[in-house]
Amino acid sequence: MIGFVVVSHSEALAEAAVDLAMQMIHGEAPPVRIASGADGGFGTDAAAIADAIDALADTDGVLIITDLGSAVLSSELALDLRTSTVPVRISDGPFVEGITAGLVRAATGGGLHEVATEVSSALAAKQAHAPAASMDAPTPGAASTAAADAAAGDVSVDAVLRNPMGLHSRPAALVVKTVGGFDADVSIANVTTGAGPASARSMIGLLALGAGGGATVRISASGPDAAAAVETVRRLVDDGFGELDQAPA
């Protein structure tokens, strides 16, 4: 599993962002180190960042997520100060959304490149529904038209989102965790609006579908475990992701 170094000018901000992200984790959480503040105040310290990287030397890689621009400069300097040889990448993704998306993807076994890509696109779910969002912007985790046809090829089922808020952050994180246990490529599309499909391994892609309560989604999969994966996700949907007072009849 990869680890994370969260670099912030404010320790309180970093702790709050990590705490929020941890609420989305189902199962084992990736290791996280916070490097924040300087001399007891606001700022960043390259030496502290280097120590945080070295503390994660036994992981499969380290992704650094920063808040403000100068934190990037401190992180770059830290790469020269560290003593470990663990692979490290400095993310260009957003702070709060990136930490959440990254931890969820890493918890399902995503590698350093996969997690870094997820973090980089972490604003897309918000941008997809903002009034000024570009209609040409691709949905993260979405397939091309040809790939979408292939994704629906092996097994596909439609289901109605029964929980009031639909596919929001917690259910999306649960879906990502669930499909990680299957040898299958799983995608979900919002049939009601035509959005997607999005990879079920991408929390940001699922959020960008904008699938609220009452929306019909299409769960598709291909691969050896396709049928089992689709059925398991369908049951999550029918069960309201555990957010209903009663189980479906």
- Return the active site residues: 168
Rounded (5°) CA angle 125-128-134: 140
- Residue listed under structure tokens 């092996």: 154
